[in-house]
């Protein structure tokens, strides 16, 4: 039986409340525009479903974020923005729902107009939140893009058959990999998370140890668009060992 990570669960449950919120906005706008008061009822229940559906999405997103960046002092800004936007959007949706419930969904005049404006704001924010999440997922999943000119550098250890690896350093790198919870984001031989690229064949794709060390220090510089946190605070020996372990996977 296949096993799924909390990150995959988050991706699976997130799209449902997002779709419900956007649909609620559409029915909210369409009700007065097309003089369909019954559409307002539809938008109310779509909002109810969206708020309930947001609960597992927020919880799984929080856990995923802690797994990926909980041990990082300075998490990527795009991640911080994505999480903040998700909670603000959900909070506004709850406020709108409670407001409509307290008024028995019979808002009129300026209050009715304001509720529609708030609904539109929520729709815009949920779209922005999804966009940030998409940037994170797509940016982290690109493992086929060749290095850019700025990111390539000559390696003093590489040969035509790849770098010469030190078994002791590879073992030490495995320990560093485990201590820093790299498996929460990366998968090796079918085991690990899916938030980052699969490293099963990283040694065949990028055997340059110098590049791997530089990438660990500053991922965004070596691979533009990456949201992987920088591990520049690791000791130089640990960085070299971790690079050896990553490259050992072919």
Tens of pLDDT along 119-156?
A: 999 999 999 999 888 777 665 444 333 333 333 333 33
Average pLDDT of the residues in 178-196 = 84
52/16 same-domain check: yes
172/137 same-domain check: no
137/171 same-domain check: no
Question: What's the helix, strand, coil split of the chain in %, to 5?
Answer: 65, 0, 30
Structure tokens of 29? 């706008």
> Does the residue 88 lie in any domain?
yes
Distances (CA, A) of 219 to 42, 80, 133, 230: 46, 17, 18, 6
pLDDT band for position 220 (50/70/90)? confident
Angle at 170 between CA 166 and CA 173, to 5 degrees: 135
Distances (CA, A) of 162 to 189, 203, 213: 20, 8, 16
Domain of residue 29 covers 6-141
219 SS3 class? helix
Looking at the predicted structure, is the pLDDT value of residue 37 above 90? yes
Q: Alpha-carbon distance 243 to 63, whole Å?
A: 27
pLDDT band for position 3 (50/70/90)? low
Cα-Cα-Cα-Cα torsion 25, 106, 109, 96, nearest 10 degrees, comes to: -40
User: Domain containing 184 — which CATH number?
Assistant: 1.10.760.10
pLDDT digits (tens, 9 = 90+) for 41-54: 999 999 999 999 99
> Does the residue 150 lie in any domain?
no
Q: Alpha-carbon distance 170 to 148, whole Å?
A: 27
pLDDT digits (tens, 9 = 90+) for 64-116: 888 777 766 677 788 889 999 999 999 999 999 999 999 999 999 999 999 99
Number of domains in the chain: 2
17/76 same-domain check: yes
137/172 same-domain check: no
Q: Alpha-carbon distance 156 to 168, whole Å?
A: 19
> Does the residue 39 lie in any domain?
yes
What was the pLDDT predicted at 229?
Answer: 85
Average pLDDT of the residues in 204-227 = 90
What was the pLDDT predicted at 208?
Answer: 93
> Does the residue 154 lie in any domain?
no
132/12 same-domain check: yes
Angle at 48 between CA 41 and CA 62, to 5 degrees: 155
What was the pLDDT predicted at 36?
Answer: 96
């Amino acid at each position: 039986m296949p096993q799924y990570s909390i990150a995959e669960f988050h991706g699976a449950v997130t799209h449902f409340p997002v779709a419900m919120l956007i649909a609620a906005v559409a029915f909210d706008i369409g009700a007065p525009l097309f003089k369909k008061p019954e559409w307002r009822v539809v938008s109310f229940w779509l909002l109810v479903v969206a708020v309930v559906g947001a609960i597992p999405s927020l919880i799984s997103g929080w856990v995923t974020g802690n797994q990926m960046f909980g041990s990082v002092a300075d998490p990527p800004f795009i991640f911080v923005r994505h999480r903040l936007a998700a909670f603000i959007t959900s909070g506004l949706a709850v406020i709108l729902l409670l407001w409509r419930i307290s008024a028995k969904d019979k808002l009129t005049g300026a209050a009715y107009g304001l509720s529609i404006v708030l609904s539109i704001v929520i729709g815009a924010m949920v779209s922005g939140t999804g966009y940030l999440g998409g940037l994170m997922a797509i940016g982290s999943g690109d493992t086929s893009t060749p290095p850019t000119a700025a990111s390539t550098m000559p390696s003093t250890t590489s040969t035509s058959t790849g770098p010469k690896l030190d078994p002791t350093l590879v073992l030490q790198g495995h320990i560093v990999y485990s201590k820093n919870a790299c498996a929460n984001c990366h998968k090796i031989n079918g085991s690990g998370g899916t938030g980052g690229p699969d490293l099963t064949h990283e040694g065949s794709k990028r055997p340059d140890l110098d590049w791997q060390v530089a990438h660990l220090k500053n991922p965004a510089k070596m691979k533009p668009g990456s949201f992987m946190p920088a591990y520049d605070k690791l000791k130089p020996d640990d960085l070299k060992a971790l690079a050896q372990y990553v490259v050992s996977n072919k």
